[in-house]
Every structure is written in C-alpha cells, then in structure tokens.
Amino acid sequence: MASYKLLLLILVFAGAFIQYINGKLSPKYYSSTCPNAFSIVQGEVIAAIKNETRIGASLLRLHFHDCFVNGCDASILLDDTPGFIGEKTAVPNNNSVRGFEVVDQIKAKLEKACPGVVSCADILALAARDSVVHLGGPSWNVGLGRRDSTSASRSAANTSIPPPTSNISSLLSSFAAQGLSLRDLVALAGSHTIGLARCTSFRARIYNDTTIDAVFAKSLQSNCPRTGNDNNLASLDLQTPTYFDNLYYKNLLKEKGLLHSDQELFNGTSADALVKIYASNTFKFFEDFAKSMVKMGKIKPLTGSQGEIRINCRKVNWK
C-alpha cells in the first residue's frame, strides 16, 4: 500500500513537471489578472460581426494562420518595418487575411482594463472561439497563457500554410507537420462552412477539375473569368456562408466544394468516411471540431518567460 502511494505521488509530480516543461495552457490563466478578458473579447467580436458578418470567418482563419507558422505566437500580427518583413505579405496571406483592426480594438480595450497582461496570441484564440459560437457553432474552453513572439517568418508562412491546390497527401503531411491527424484535418476544414474565397483561389478548380459538379462550376465562372478579377469573391459554403453548420460536408458529397483542397477530402480516400460522418451528424462534427481547435491552439505556444506580452499587437515592445 505504501509503495502504491509513493508511486502515485511520483506520478503526480512527474505529471506536474511535464505540464511545466510543456508550458501547459489553462482556461483560468487570467482569472485573477484580467477577469474581464473573456467578456471584453466576446463583446468586441460580437460587435464586429454585427458590423460585418464575414469578419467572424476572418478571425477564425487568423488563428489558424498564426498557429501553423512557428506556433500560436501572434507572429502573423506583426507589421512590416523597414528592417523587417513579416508574414502579412506571404503568399497565403497577401490580399487575403483580414481582421487586424478588430484585434487592435480588442487589444486596446484589454490594455485599458489590465495593461500588459493579455497576449495577442491569446486574443486570436479567444476571438476564433467567440466567432464560431456567435455564428452558430460549438464552444470549447480556450487554454490561455500563450505569449507573443518577437519575430515572424515570411518564408515559414509561405511553406507551412497549405495552398488550395493541395492534394490529400500534401494536406495530410502539412497537418502532420503540426502534430495534427487526418481527423483533425477533416474536422478543421469544416471551418470552410463560413467565409469567402477569391477567384484566384478556385479558378483552376472551376475550369479544370473533373471532381466538380458541372452546374456548380458553371455558376461560378461568370464571376471568376479565366483571367482577371482575381479578387472577386465566392462563398466557401454555397448554402449557408454565414452560418456555422455541417453543410460544408454535404456540399463535398455532391462535388460542390469550392476549393480543390476541399474536394480532396471526398475523393476516394480514407478521408471520405469522416466527411460522411460529419455530413450526417452535426453533433459529431461540432464535438470533433472543438477538440481539434483546442489541439491546434496548443501548437508550440511560447510560455513562461519566453517571448513577451505585446502592448501593440502589430509591433514588438522594444522597437
């Protein structure tokens, strides 16, 4: 019995140590230092979505593009300076990512309420969750305690974020590189139930792919000609683009995914089974989506004394 207790004790301490070296995130991280953080972020997100519904999708995507580039460290928020090129003009981001003004607005409110406490990386994680919830999707507890990077990497942004031309094997390896599985890939791609894409992101698909519904392809071509109008927009979910539901998967079953990469998830591979499950079971989609968002939010966070808490999300403190 005594040796059993000793073993238990050792296990508990080992667990605590592993949490410490992993810099584990906690939903309660700001409960004494900034108890209003949740309501401030949520209030600003709801106001921003009331002003423009699409911004919820844009905020969700910002967290993804942050986490996939050297971890969830707000590197994507850094502006270029004369001596420094950030991630905003990397290929997947240029003329595409949006929502920076909303993050600034949230940060300004947080700095008034609790100066120097809440990181920009945590703002992105909370704003993504609040956006999904407000648009009708699932909720989850956001682990907090991320700190902000003092650098960014345009080349890593070029290579780590998968392009819409990706095939299933490229998608899988790009997610695996972040510690994310096939299930995470298919669940997180369900984000494309909201938001818009530019013509340049789906042109090759609507003119050249064989795995696309012909009527659907035709309907997109008038607004996305073979050349020009690169920035014309179409909904990622043709049915309910401002509502977080499982219709994205139902579209894939009918070869009506907007991006080539979307349709790759239902094209005769092991991903098909998951698409079918999520298309028929919103609850299962929501459950897996929430789990995978938590997992994505844990990609290589800076914790403890690493990085800093930026005062202005667009620049490092000492510049």
Q: Which residues are annotated as a binding site for Ca(2+)?
A: 66, 69, 71, 73, 75, 87, 193, 237, 240, 245
Q: What angle do CA 127, 128, 133 make, to 5 degrees?
A: 95
Q: Which residues contact residue 225 at a Cβ distance below 8 angstroms, ignoring those fewer than 6 apart? A: 199
Are 146 and 302 spatial neighbours (Cβ–Cβ below 8 Å)?
A: yes
In the shown chain, the binding pattern of residues 71 to 110 toward ligand HEM, with x for contact by CB under 6 A and - for none, equals -------------------------x-x------------
Q: Are 76 and 144 in contact (CB under 8 A)?
A: no
Distance CA 315, CA 192 (A): 30
Report which residue's Cβ sits closest to ligand HEM.
Answer: 195
Q: Would you count residue 242 as binding ligand NAG (CB under 6 A)?
A: no
198 binds ligand HEM (CB under 6 A): yes
Q: Using the rule CB under 6 A, is 129 a contact of ligand HEM?
A: no
Residue 58 interacting partner from ligand HEM, ligand NAG, none (CB closer than 5 to 8 Å by kind): ligand HEM
CA dist., res. 70 & res. 66, Å (int): 8
Q: Is 197 in the site for ligand HEM (CB under 6 A)?
A: yes
Q: Which of 137, 138, 162, 297 binds ligand HEM (CB under 6 A)?
A: 162
Q: Which of 85, 196, 238, 294 binds ligand HEM (CB under 6 A)?
A: 196
By a kind-dependent CB cut-off of 5 to 8 A, residue 59 interacts, out of ligand NAG, ligand HEM, none, with none
Per CB under 6 A, 132 contacts ligand HEM: no
What is the dihedral sign for C-alpha 193, 244, 283, 103? positive
Using CA atoms, how far apart are residues 10 and 27, in angstroms rounded to an integer? 26
Q: Please answer whether residues 86 and 152 qualify as being in contact, where contact means their C-beta atoms are separated by less than 8 angstroms.
A: yes
Q: Which amino acid is at 101?
A: E
Q: Residues 294, 206: contact at Cβ < 8 Å? A: no
- Stretch of 70-78, 147-155, 184-192, 275-283 lying at the interface with ligand HEM (CB under 6 A): 184-192
Q: Which of 20, 52, 79, 139 binds ligand NAG (CB under 6 A)?
A: 52
Give the residue numbers marked as catalytic: 65
- Look up residue 310 and give its two tokens: 């930026």
Q: Candidates 35-43, 107-115, 145-153, 181-189: pick the segment binding ligand HEM (CB under 6 A).
A: 181-189
134 binds ligand HEM (CB under 6 A): no
Q: How far apart are CA 191 and CA 61, in angstroms?
A: 8
Q: Give, as one character, the DSSP assignment of residue 142.
A: P
The CA distance from 157 to 154, in Å, is 5
Applying CB under 6 A, does 191 fall inside the site for ligand HEM? Answer: yes
CB 133 within 8 A of CB 243: no
Using the rule CB under 6 A, which residue among 65, 203, 298, 314 binds ligand NAG?
203
Is residue 54 close enough to count as binding ligand HEM by CB under 6 A?
A: yes
Tokens 């409110």 correspond to: 109
Reading the block at residue 97, the tokens are: 């990512």
Binding site residues, ligand NAG, CB under 6 A: 48, 51-52, 89-91, 94-95, 154-155, 158, 167-170, 203-204, 207-208, 210-211, 226, 267-268
Binding site residues, ligand HEM, CB under 6 A: 54, 57-58, 60-61, 64, 96, 98, 162, 164, 166, 171, 185, 188-189, 191-192, 194-198, 201, 236, 259, 261
